[in-house]
Amino acid sequence: MFGFLNVYKPKGKTSHDVVAILRRITKVKQIGHTGTLDPFAEGVLPICIGKATRLIEYLDDDKAYIGTIKLGESTTTYDIEGQTINISNKMVKKDEIETALKDFQGEIEQIPPIYSAIKVNGKKLYEYAREGKDVEIKPRKVTISELKLLDFDEEKKILKLYISCSKGTYIRSIANDLGEKLGTYGHLTMLVRVKAGMFDIETAKKLEDIDTKEKIQKNIKNPLEYLNYPKQELQDNQIQKIKNGMEINFPSDNCNIFIITYKSEIAAVGSCKDGIFKPSKVFL
């Protein structure tokens, strides 16, 4: 098996759980995912099968989510799985939320949650948190390309956001920081990833719909559909050189990432410079 699979990760399972299930069904060990989702979250989880795992680094990193936030309460993890640590009775108006959201758009600095897998001095942040140890968490730059209020129940203090963002953005931190911006508290109660690069929720397959090797094979996609780089077909007399990882003469503009195809399948990924293609990964 070789290719990409767009899977809908259900709530309650980890991204690693999904990979383990697919390995058990296909008997293929070489399976990986892009972009971890927390157990309470659900939605699009791109899966790479076989040698396609070597293409993970070339996939688009931008993500899109629909997040549900409860105002008036903050938790240790910034989401519904944590312990409540602060409560506020303040009522917030819709126009206040829309005004506050403007400060979260574009390139912003975000402090990741203490309960996250980011490493500081070789140790994951959540390990410090579980040990009750303080650690300095440095802010990171992320980009929020779109942030839209979809719904707000003023009485229940529950709002729903659409967030389109760069890799590494913590939606939990947006929930917590938005609450503080509004002079109250907030935490994430539900999260659905609706897009990951070119993978979208409309075409994502639920695990129960791909519960056999044959069904998985049927739904595997050609990686060329999801790799947005210049491509060109390989000539028959160049195949052996590419198989051996050798450079070939190739009439093309200079390009850091270029894909060579053969019979509509990916043959190699590399770079082009001054009419020479240099392969870095070969799939023939």
Residues with a catalytic annotation lie at 38
Instruction: Please say whether the beta carbons of 6 and 44 come within 8 A.
Output: yes
Q: How far apart are CA 187 and CA 175, in angstroms?
A: 5
One-letter amino acid at 60 equals D
Cα 11 → chain centroid: 16
Q: How far apart are CA 45 and CA 22, in angstroms?
A: 12
Question: Which residues, other chains included, contact 103 with Cβ-Cβ below 8 Å and sequence gap of 6+?
Answer: 181
Residue tagged 């206040």 (tokens) = 96
What are the Cα distances from residue 271, in Å, to 91, 205, 249, 254, 256? 56, 34, 12, 8, 5
Instruction: Please say whether the beta carbons of 193 and 41 come within 8 A.
Output: yes
Q: How far apart are CA 231 and CA 241, in angstroms?
A: 18
